[in-house]
Amino acid sequence: MYEPLPDLPASGAAASDVPAPGADVGDIFEALPDAWLVLDASMQVVAANRAYLALVSSERAAVIGRSVYEINQAGSAAQREARRRWLDAMLGDGVPGESRLGPPIRYDLAGDDAGPRVPRYWQVRVTLMATARGERLFGLCVHDISERMEDEAREQRERAKLRSQARLRQVLMEEANEQLRLQQEQLQHALAFASVGAWELQTQTGVFTCNDQFKMLLGLPAAATITESRLFGELIDVEYRERVRYAFDAARFADAPVEVDFRVTWPNRERHWVLLRAARPRGSDAQAAEAGGATASVIGLALDISMRKESELEHQAAAVTERAARERSEEATRAMDHFVAAVSHELRSPLGAIQSWATLLQRSGDLAHMARAGTVIERNARQLALMVDDLLDSGAIATGKLSIELAPVDLGALAGNIAEDMRIRIEEKGVRLVADKLESCIVMADEKRLRQVIWNLMTNALKFSESGEIVVSVSVDAAAAGTAQLSVRDSGRGIAPDVLERIFERFYQAGGSGRASGLGLGLWLARSIVRLHGGAIWAESAGEGQGATFRVSLPRYR
């Protein structure tokens, strides 16, 4: 069990930090995904959640009631001393609500079975709080950043290795310029063996003097000529030309070498990544630039880093995919929560009505009450049956098991029949039904499923209309003579532009004033059934309060 937490802070805490009425603060603290310690004014640990105990592989009894300076004493003497100074700096005076992020620190943990200590890096955010009684508390959110530190160290070593190699080749090249032709040839052989391209750009002529390896990195034959205009206008991929040109311009003025990577597409359509290191040469040419002018030439090296770059891009793509999958999972969870709440709400109303009128039937012998009770029970039972049918159809569509039986159906006549069936229900609500433009259009469809689509669209229009009219029409699509179009237009609540596409999602219900009844399945079922018929369905609305129009397009029977 967790240690009881002190009272909530009286100041320095946001309103969103206060749990809902009835919630157990200890349970919320215990379930936090981040590792947390809470200290009192004497630096004694008063609470530690599960995440913290798991992070440091410790038992609750080993930390609660002890000084933060005494717990988890696993590192070397030097690390423990550094940890003490680190805590002194982080737990100094402050005002309630102040939050401090400490610098990373290395503090190794003990290994299993008294084995060697495991290297670990930590970072802590300390928040100073005050309880309702004015007692000072320190909240420590502890993060294990060992992986991040290791990744940064590994990347630094890799870049240092590349810089070391490039520097070595540059030194060799400078020495070769001062040596005999034989030494120059030996340098060229060494560069070719290491797959390093060497080059020099004469800025006045725009011509590159380079070895064959540099040309190979750009996908060119040994006899090719490279000019500045060709490099930026043809060889480097378009999206990287500006950054490489900027690096060249910077190298003409900078005292230190400039690095830039870019992508090239070879004539065989293969893509390669090149790391280029550029600098202005030393000597007489560089002396001319000491007064603030640009050097007349730029020299440098180039390496093929395709494998490393592709690995980096794969990791980035994987991170994006993982983030998108996590967002989709969270969205699905929210949709399911909403669905469960909607089902609970929608089932409760008809079941309550049936139960109440059934009880009345048992207690009353009044024939008038019996007739009314029968009507109410029948209506609510029919509503329950429709919801159950929607749920069953939803499951069948989701699993790909919903089948349709196609036969010639007059879309106009079917829409007219459904409109007449719903006329009394619509007019009882004070809404006018207009269905006087129903052309005869024969389509290949499952009449039962197509009836379900039209019924759902008209029911949806009625649900969001308190007055005005509902207009149902069927016609041959003027833009596509081979299709029939059903239109259901209402003058009701309307649809905001940002949710026009989302209203066809499963379990989704558009917001607005009041709560719309239903399970959020009607429009999703309609779209799924229309697609099974090879048709399309979409919604149009000028905005909230402007009404909405739903259109269904189906292939005509020939």
The full DSSP string for 346-369 is HHHHHHHHHHHHHHHHHH---HHH
In this prediction, residue 16 has a pLDDT band, given cuts at 50, 70 and 90, of very low
Nearby residues of 485 by Cβ (< 8 Å), 6 or more positions away: 474, 475, 476, 477, 551, 552, 553, 554
Task: Tell me the whole-structure pTM to 2 decimals.
Answer: 0.39
pLDDT at 22 over 60: no
* CATH number for the domain that contains residue 476: 3.30.565.10
Separation between Cα atoms, residue 316 and residue 322, nearest integer Å: 10
Alpha-helical segments (H) within 403-446: 411-428
Both tokens of 526, joined, read 């309609």
Q: Is residue 183 part of a domain?
A: yes
Arithmetic mean of pLDDT over the chain: 79
How much is the pLDDT for 470?
93
Mapped onto helix, strand or coil, the DSSP state of residue 1 is coil
The whole-number pLDDT of residue 489 equals 93
DSSP secondary structure letter of residue 149: H
Q: How confident is the model at residue 256 (pLDDT cuts 50, 70, 90)?
A: confident
Give the full edge-to-edge strand order of the sheet including 297-304: 207-210, 196-202, 297-304, 271-279, 258-265
> Residue 319's domain spans which residues?
314-381
460 and 514 together in one domain = yes
388 found inside a domain: no
Tell me the pLDDT band of 172, cut-offs 50, 70 and 90. confident
**Residue 45 shares a structural domain with residue 21:** yes
Question: Which tens digits make up the pLDDT trace of 113-168?
Answer: 556 777 888 889 898 888 778 788 888 898 988 888 888 888 888 888 888 888 88
Per the structure, the count of domains in the chain is 4
Helices (H) and strands (E) in the chain, counts: 14, 19
State residue 401 phi and psi, 5-degree precision: -105, 0
Q: Specify the 3-state DSSP secondary structure of 473.
A: strand
Collect all residues with Cβ–Cβ distance below 8 Å to 320 and sequence separation of at least 6. Answer: none
Which residues have C-beta within 8 Å of that of residue 530, sequence separation ≥ 6? 453, 536, 537, 552, 554
Q: Are 142 and 122 in contact (CB under 8 A)?
A: yes
Q: Provide the pLDDT for residue 525.
A: 82
Q: What is the pLDDT of residues 274-303, one digit of tens each?
A: 988 888 887 645 455 555 556 778 888 888
The predicted pLDDT at position 389 comes to 65
Residues in the chain: 558
Helix (H) or strand (E) holding 100: strand 99-101
- Are 156 and 293 contained in the same domain? yes
Least trusted range by pLDDT, from 99-103, 194-198, 474-478? 194-198
Tokens at 118, concatenated? 């495991």
DSSP assignment string, 272-330: EEEEEEEEPPSSHHHHTTTTSPPPSEEEEEEEE-HHHHHHHHHHHHHHHHHHHHHHHHH
* CA–CA dist 271, 305 (Å, integer): 11
- Is the same domain home to 292 and 167? yes
Token pair recorded at residue 511? 């917001």
Query: pLDDT of 503-536, one tens digit each?
Result: 888 766 665 433 445 556 778 888 888 888 899 9
For residues 314-340, give the mean pLDDT.
Answer: 78
Q: Does any domain span residue 396?
A: no
Among the candidates 304, 338, 355, a domain finishes at: 304
Q: Which of 381, 397, 417 is the last residue of a domain?
A: 381
* 394 falls within a domain: no
User: Alpha-carbon distance 190 to 192, whole Å?
Assistant: 5
Same domain for 454 and 518 = yes
CATH number at residue 114: 3.30.450.20
Q: Within this chain, do residues 162 and 135 fall inside the same structural domain, yes or no?
A: no
CATH number at residue 346: 1.10.287
Strands (E), 379-535: 407-410, 432-438, 442-445, 469-476, 483-490
Q: Given 347, 381, 415, which residue is the final one in a domain? A: 381
Q: Are residues 177 and 300 in the same domain?
A: yes
How high is the pLDDT of residue 349? Answer: 57
- Same domain for 419 and 498, yes or no, is yes
pLDDT over 80 (residue 410): yes
* 133 and 164 fall within a common domain: no
Mean pLDDT within 234-258: 87
Judged against a pLDDT cut of 80, whether residue 247 lies above it is answered with yes
Higher pLDDT, residue 40 or 334: 40
What is the pLDDT at residue 45? 92
Residues 297 and 327 in one domain: no
| 161 falls within a domain | yes
Q: How confident is the model at residue 13 (pLDDT cuts 50, 70, 90)?
A: very low
Residues 449-464 pLDDT 10s: 888 889 889 988 998 8
d(CA 475, CA 483): 9
182 pLDDT band (50/70/90 cuts)? low
**347 is a domain residue:** yes
Q: What is the pLDDT of residue 514?
A: 38
Task: Flag whether 329 is in a domain.
Answer: yes
> Does residue 216 carry a pLDDT above 50?
yes
Stretch (H or E) spanning 137: strand 136-144
Tell me: pLDDT of 10 over 50. no
Q: Is the pLDDT of residue 8 over 50?
A: no
- Arithmetic mean of pLDDT, 197-211: 86
pLDDT at 472 over 90: yes
Among candidate residues 41, 42, 48, the one with its CA nearest the CA of residue 5: 48
Same domain, 292 and 350: no
- Dihedral of CA atoms 214, 220, 221, 226 in degrees, nearest 10, equals -70
Same-domain check for residues 375 and 413: no
Establish if 4 belongs to a structural domain. no
